Amino acid sequence: MADSKIVNLYIPCQMDMFQSGTAYSAMSVLERIGDRCQYFEEQTCCGCRFYLEGEIVYAKDLAINVLDCYDEKLPFIIPDSTCAGFMKTQYKHLLKNAYTPTKLATFIQNVHELCDYIVNVKHIECLNNYFGHKVFYFKSCSARNVYPANDAPETLLRNTRGLELLMDDDIHGCCGANGRFSKVNPAAAESLMGEIVSKIINMGVEYITSTDIRCLQHLDAYKVAHGVDVEIIHIADILKGE
């Protein structure tokens, strides 16, 4: 394993409120590879939701709270590609007058989605975890278009013992979960999700996973509403394994 270090662990608000067990999975994975996590209860939303709603002042206040809570010189690990992508792409504009350029650049450079950190920073491609199921990896819009492109999640899933990874590039469209789309166009969002789930189910999968907590919760809501026979799981819960 790589050298151990202290890392900042940031938990997205939707994970904290509705799926806190996954936060512990992320912490367990980081500790397994030798890192010690520091987490501050003072952290709140990263500001992404408010930013997408046009509430720039609130988004900036929340972003400032994030930077004020943590040490910008330490790796900043997030088990979510949307929050990580938002921080990497928008904080440099949102906070350009709130901090020195050096402090802000250092923080942004240290922001990493969990899988990207494991594979491309710690240089670990196998966690020796086990998950004996057929799994479809749903690469979210944020993972494809916002967070810096990488195949770290696929690498870790392929190297999970017992896991059969199923993928189809034609299925990685928008599920309608993020931003205002699902609120303003619920019928269209439902249709998009239905097409995605139908194609995945036809592949014979048992679990759908992703690096995006919002997409997973949207998938889970669709599953419950329509009685779809598939399980929804965050990638951190798979990587925790046995």
Give the pairing of strands 76-78 and 6-9: parallel
Domain boundary among 99, 121, 143: 121
Q: Do 44 and 150 share a domain, yes or no?
A: no
Looking at residue 126, its amino acid is C
Q: Do 151 and 172 share a domain, yes or no?
A: yes
Question: Which of 193, 86, 197, 91 minimizes the C-alpha distance to 142?
Answer: 86
Question: Is there a domain that residue 69 lies in?
Answer: yes
Domain count, the chain: 2
Question: Is there a domain that residue 73 lies in?
Answer: yes
Q: Do 98 and 19 share a domain, yes or no?
A: yes
The pLDDT tens digits of the residues spanning 39-81 come to: 888 888 899 988 888 899 999 999 999 999 898 999 999 999 9
Give me the mean pLDDT over the 107-116 stretch.
97
DSSP string, 93-114: HHTTTTS-HHHHHHHHHHEEEH
Q: Do 95 and 154 share a domain, yes or no?
A: no
Domain boundary among 100, 121, 142: 121
Q: Do 18 and 116 share a domain, yes or no?
A: yes
Domain boundary among 121, 150, 177: 121
Question: Is there a domain that residue 55 lies in?
Answer: yes
Question: Is there a domain that residue 87 lies in?
Answer: yes
What pTM does this model have?
Answer: 0.92
Structural domain for 111, as ranges: 6-121
- For residue 174, give the CATH number of its domain: 3.40.50
Between 26-35, 188-197, 220-229, the lowest mean confidence (pLDDT) is in: 188-197
Between 14-23, 98-107, 179-188, the lowest mean confidence (pLDDT) is in: 179-188
What pLDDT is attached to residue 91?
Answer: 96
Q: Do 165 and 88 share a domain, yes or no?
A: no
Question: Is there a domain that residue 1 lies in?
Answer: no
Question: Is there a domain that residue 86 lies in?
Answer: yes
Between 57-61, 140-144, 164-168, the lowest mean confidence (pLDDT) is in: 140-144
Q: Do 113 and 78 share a domain, yes or no?
A: yes
Helix, strand, or coil here: 241? Answer: coil
